[in-house]
């Protein structure tokens, strides 16, 4: 099996998580800035090649009523672009409350204040939800 890449895409940052090759565990990776779409797409393509990814999972920001938002439509559009560039399937997972859950996992107060310290943990939670191991 190939690894799975999960992304928690925000307006300023992108959290990254990757599964193991057996797709049984999820590991948080780096967080990077979400500047422009072109740079984002290149960065993800590079991750796909480096990590030998076989599938991408994106967090889909639905509201508390499980309905689409303006941001979720943008994420779906990015997912289609990612699928075209990487030639990989892209799946979406409801990311409702993943950032809150990620913040709860960070034990030290000073670590919680670091910008983006919870983004990759949120991506890990999204991937765990997809793998149903969380």
Strand locations in 1-134 (E): 3-9, 13-19, 26-33, 53-60, 90-94
Structure tokens at 127: 């991937």
**Contact predicate 29/20, CB 8 Å:** no
> Which residues of the chain fall below pLDDT 50?
109-110, 112-113, 134
Q: What is the pLDDT of residues 42-70, one digit of tens each?
A: 999 999 999 999 999 999 988 888 888 88
Structure tokens at 33: 């800035």
pTM for the model stands at 0.84
Question: Class of 3-131 per CATH?
Answer: alpha beta
Domain residue limits, the chain: 3-131
């Amino acid at each position: 099996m190939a690894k799975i890449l999960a992304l928690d895409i925000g307006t300023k940052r992108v959290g990254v998580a990757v599964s193991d090759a057996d797709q049984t565990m999820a590991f948080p990776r780096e967080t990077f800035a979400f500047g422009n779409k072109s740079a984002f797409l290149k960065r993800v393509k590079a991750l796909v090649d480096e990590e030998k990814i076989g599938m991408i999972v994106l967090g889909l920001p639905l509201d508390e009523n499980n309905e689409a938002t303006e941001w979720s439509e943008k994420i779906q559009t990015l997912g289609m672009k990612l699928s075209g560039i990487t030639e990989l399937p892209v799946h979406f997972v409801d990311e409702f409350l993943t950032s809150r859950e990620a913040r709860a996992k960070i034990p030290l107060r000073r670590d919680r204040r670091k910008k983006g310290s919870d983004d990759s943990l949120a991506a890990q939670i999204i991937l765990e939800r997809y793998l149903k191991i969380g």
